[in-house]
Amino acid sequence: MFVFFDFLDLHTLGILNHSQPNGLAVPDASMHPVKSTNDVIKLMEIGLKNRAKGSTAMNERSSRSHSVVSIHVRGADKKTGSTLQGNLHLVDLAGSERIDRSEVTGDRLKEAQHINKSLSALGDVIFALAQKSAHIPYRNSKLTQILQTSLGGHAKTLMLVQINSDIKSYSESLSTLKFAERVSGVELGVARSTKEGRDVRELMEQVASLKDTISTKDEEIERLQLLKDLKNDNSEKLED
């Protein structure tokens, strides 16, 4: 079962997934006013201490949960007085570990299965975005639903992947690099709009160029027609 937990106020969070076209809403998540980057870092450090961790055969301090920090920024344009606002989502995903190698059992096994399932769902979403599919399977996981606004619309998304240099982790590292390669081919949000805008501009420039060419040709035709008329007039005068 996928559970949302507040790492700052230490309580389970309720979620709203009805009438939410852009993913999940977490209305009970704690919100703290901040005035500087240091304020944000201090809160993140508190959350990190409270984040679920556990020991596996592959990692003594393995993250047993995903972590999402949402920073809401609001400011005012001094020239126009209009309010500007934006959101920054910092997401740290728990690592995928092979069940047979991590040697987890009981609750740790269930955690690993949920983590791997949610990461697999994220991979499916990334693949669908890369293929520009009409249907993006956000609803296959609570993780992909909560990240929906970060992966669509006009969001700018930056993903970093981490691998283990240990030769024993070759399989996991290769899988991670393949996932990164798949992600690198995805165009979404601003990147897609920018590309589409660039394509439109190029087409408009081509149309303008063709119009100029047609206009030049029309002028040339008129000039030739005028010369032809003058030549005909001169021929008639000579005959007279």
pLDDT in tens, 185-219: 777 655 454 455 556 677 778 888 888 888 888 88
Query: Are 226 and 143 in a shared domain?
Result: no
- pTM over 0.85, yes/no: no
Residues 61, 168 within the same domain: yes
Q: Are residues 35 and 80 in the same domain?
A: yes
Same domain flag for 87 and 100:
yes
Same domain, 156 and 70: yes
Q: Which two tokens stand for residue 85?
A: 């606002």
For residues 180 and 193, state if they share a domain.
no
Lowest mean pLDDT among 26-35, 121-130, 191-200: 191-200
Q: Judge if 131 and 223 occupy the same domain.
A: no
Domain total of the chain: 2
What integer pLDDT is reported at residue 19 of this predicted model? 43
Report the CATH number that the domain containing residue 81 is assigned in CATH. Answer: 3.40.850.10
Nearest Cα residue to 8 out of 57, 59, 44: 44
Considering the chain, what is the average pLDDT of its residues? 78
User: Does residue 5 sit in helix, strand or coil?
Assistant: strand
Top mean pLDDT of 62-66, 96-100, 134-138, 222-226 is at 134-138
Same domain? 163 vs 215 = no
Residues 118 and 203 in one domain: no
Residue 76 has φ and ψ, to the nearest 5°, of -130, 140
The answer on 182 and 156 residing in a single domain is yes
**What is the domain extent for residue 98?**
5-186
User: 59, 127, 67, 121: which is closest to 94 by C-alpha?
Assistant: 67
CB atoms near residue 110 (< 10 Å)? 12
Query: Does residue 71 have a pLDDT over 70?
Result: yes
Q: Is beta strand 62-63 parallel, antiparallel or unpaired with respect to 67-76?
A: unpaired
